[in-house]
């Protein structure tokens, strides 16, 4: 491991991006490599004074940026995607070191972010004519809001920054971007790259702890918050934003069900279901977190999933053989270990995993369990780690009721060889996105977001872009 960690000479001396300049801070954040459980870098943490300067810069840059056309802004965003691709290797290595995911998946995250960015700037937000006759002309226009505060989590720091960032910038807003204190480096590096493309003040990047997030959500001169993170924090963000009635988009946690029908070939679907459950070691908002399998294929599906789990190589993300990296931080690791212990106490059967490996690093193997009580923590909570329950059903109504019996509603999927029936069943899931024979499929022109406590509003697509704008009616009496 130590050898691997030494094999790449990586710059980690980043600054905060404020008004086009890179700034240091007297306050610092330690950044831990989760594969080793050791601090490998430090970076500046923004103070309130940094935030004030960033907000002032973002406000000052707003009028000129707002007045550019969509196509002018799109051209700079495309340059940004190009720059991301040119710097992909360095950015990916940084991401793997701080986040833990396998290097190939870090590269894929950057690719996905760049592709989504290019896709989003192809979407038009035209003026809508609501009425036009001899007496009147009524238009619905959309104008930028002003300064958008973007707050991101640690599981996919690059792609989860790029979605809201491009939405805000393309629609004419300026930005303050704050990454998670656990994964600040790839976002600070992103800031360095953006500095070469966008006018000063249009994008400001501030690393910092949770308090910085609070200051951003409270700030009277920030017009919108785009938050991606946990349900608990999302509620605090909404409460804080209410004081100034900021616009808010919340992309929160999930407890996604997958309903596997009796007409599937278990071996054929197992690989896809396994990947959708365990990629990034289960640390994905829209990972499959509960599997409901029809009794007819239940045993065969369990066997096929166990075979996938046994094949998956867990290790340091810098090792090219690694498929599943560590849990990203100690707090989350302790939470998942707590869920494993609780699941044992509840009498569940562990098909794989269950023993906690000795360190270093926050590693846990892919863990599949059956015979789990529906009211256990594993079924009720968002585990956000590599442990997934497989539960049996005999009637579809029962499966749907159990799948929907949760405060979460991010996404879900139905697996069947009858795609027409699959779509009908999927529509009954109380979620923002219901997939058939796939999971985790998103794109720039398709809205994504949560139902129930999984969020508020949508990201991506014209629907998502419009949430970074204020609708304004212009009504003319002729």
Q: Which residues are catalytic?
A: 251, 285
Binding to ligand NAD, residues 399-428 (CB under 6 A) = 410
Q: Which two tokens stand for residue 472?
A: 């304004």
Residues 44, 102, 153, 412: which binds ligand NAD (CB under 6 A)? 153
Asked if 10 contacts 93 with a C-beta cutoff of 8 angstroms, the reply is: yes
Specify the DSSP element, H or E, that contains 400: helix 396-404
Closer CB to ligand NAD, 1 or 238, in the complex: 238
Q: Is residue 155 at the binding interface for ligand NAD, with CB under 6 A as the rule?
A: yes
Closer CB to ligand NAD, 174 or 283, in the complex: 283
Closer CB to ligand NAD, 212 or 414, in the complex: 212
Query: CA 387, CA 354: separation in Å to the nearest integer?
Result: 9
Query: CA 316, CA 304: separation in Å to the nearest integer?
Result: 26
Asked if 141 contacts 127 with a C-beta cutoff of 8 angstroms, the reply is: yes
Only segment of 68-76, 102-110, 251-259, 418-426 that touches ligand NAD (CB under 6 A): 251-259
Q: Is residue 285 at the binding interface for ligand NAD, with CB under 6 A as the rule?
A: yes
Q: From the CB of 42, what's the least distance to ligand NAD, in Å?
A: 17
Asked if 120 contacts 465 with a C-beta cutoff of 8 angstroms, the reply is: yes
Paired strand residues for 392 = 293
In the numeric block, the tokens 């495309």 are attached to 78
Q: Is residue 96 at the binding interface for ligand NAD, with CB under 6 A as the rule?
A: no
Residue count of the chain: 478
Q: Is residue 351 at the binding interface for ligand NAD, with CB under 6 A as the rule?
A: no
Preceding omega of 52 cis (within 30 degrees of 0): no
Residues 65, 170, 384, 460: which binds ligand NAD (CB under 6 A)? 384
Q: From the CB of 245, what's the least distance to ligand NAD, in Å?
A: 17
Q: From the CB of 449, what's the least distance to ligand NAD, in Å?
A: 7
Q: From the CB of 439, what's the least distance to ligand NAD, in Å?
A: 14
In terms of Cβ atoms closer than 10 Å to its own Cβ (0-12, 13-18, 19+), residue 220 is: exposed
Q: From the CB of 175, what's the least distance to ligand NAD, in Å?
A: 15
Asked if 97 contacts 318 with a C-beta cutoff of 8 angstroms, the reply is: yes
Q: From the CB of 322, what's the least distance to ligand NAD, in Å?
A: 21
Query: CA 328, CA 179: separation in Å to the nearest integer?
Result: 14
In the numeric block, the tokens 């196509």 are attached to 71
Closer CB to ligand NAD, 334 or 401, in the complex: 334
Q: Where are the beta strands (DSSP E) in 45-195?
A: 128-132, 136-144, 147-151, 174-178
Q: Is residue 382 at the binding interface for ligand NAD, with CB under 6 A as the rule?
A: yes
Q: Is residue 252 at the binding interface for ligand NAD, with CB under 6 A as the rule?
A: yes
Interface residues with ligand NAD (CB under 6 A) are: 151-155, 160, 178, 180-181, 210, 213-214, 217, 228-230, 233, 236-237, 251-254, 285, 382, 384, 410, 450, 455
């Amino acid at each position: 491991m130590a050898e691997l960690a030494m094999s790449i000479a990586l710059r980690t001396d980043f600054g905060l991006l404020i008004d086009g300049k890179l700034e240091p801070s007297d306050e610092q954040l330690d950044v831990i490599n989760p594969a080793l459980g050791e601090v490998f870098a430090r970076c500046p943490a923004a103070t309130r004074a940094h935030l004030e300067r960033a907000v002032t810069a973002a406000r000052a840059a707003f009028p000129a940026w707002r007045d550019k056309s969509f196509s002018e802004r799109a051209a700079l965003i495309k340059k940004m995607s190009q720059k991301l691709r040119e710097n992909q290797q360095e950015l990916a290595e940084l991401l793997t070191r701080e986040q833990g995911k396998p290097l190939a998946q870090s590269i894929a995250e950057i690719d996905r972010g760049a592709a989504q960015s290019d896709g989003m700037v192809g979407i038009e937000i035209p003026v809508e004519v609501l009425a036009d006759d001899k007496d009147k002309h009524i238009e619905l226009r959309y104008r930028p809001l002003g300064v958008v505060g973007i707050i991101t989590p640690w599981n996919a720091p690059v792609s989860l920054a790029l979605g809201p960032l491009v939405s805000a910038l393309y629609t004419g807003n300026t930005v303050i971007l704050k990454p998670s204190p656990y994964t600040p480096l790839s976002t600070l590096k992103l800031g360095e790259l953006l500095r070469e493309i966008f006018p000063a003040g249009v994008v400001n990047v501030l690393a910092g702890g949770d308090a910085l997030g609070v200051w951003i959500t409270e700030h009277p001169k920030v017009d919108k918050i785009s938050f991606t993170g946990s349900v608990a924090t999302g509620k605090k963000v909404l409460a804080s934003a209410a004081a100034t009635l900021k616009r808010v988009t919340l992309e929160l946690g999930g407890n996604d069900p997958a309903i596997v029908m009796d007409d599937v070939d278990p071996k054929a679907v197992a690989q896809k279901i396994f990947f959708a459950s365990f990629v990034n070691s289960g640390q994905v908002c829209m990972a499959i977190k509960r599997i409901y399998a029809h009794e007819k294929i239940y045993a065969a599906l369990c066997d096929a999933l166990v075979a996938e789990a046994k094949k998956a190589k867990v290790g340091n993300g810098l090792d090219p053989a690694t498929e599943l990296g560590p849990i990203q931080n100690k707090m989350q690791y302790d939470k998942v270990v707590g869920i494993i212990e609780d699941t044992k106490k509840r009498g569940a059967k562990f098909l794989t995993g269950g023993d906690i490996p000795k360190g270093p690093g926050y590693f846990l193997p892919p863990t599949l369990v059956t015979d789990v009580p529906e009211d256990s923590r594993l079924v009720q909570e968002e585990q956000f780690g590599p442990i997934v329950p497989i539960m049996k059903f005999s009637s579809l109504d029962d499966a749907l009721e159990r799948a929907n019996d949760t405060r979460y509603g991010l996404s879900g999927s139905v697996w069947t060889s009858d795609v027409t029936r699959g779509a009908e069943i999927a529509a009954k899931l109380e979620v923002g996105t219901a997939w058939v024979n796939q999971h985790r499929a998103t794109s720039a022109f398709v809205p994504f977001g949560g139902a129930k406590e999984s969020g508020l509003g949508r990201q991506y697509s014209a629907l998502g872009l419009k949430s970074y704008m204020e609708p304004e009616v212009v009504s003319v009496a002729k």
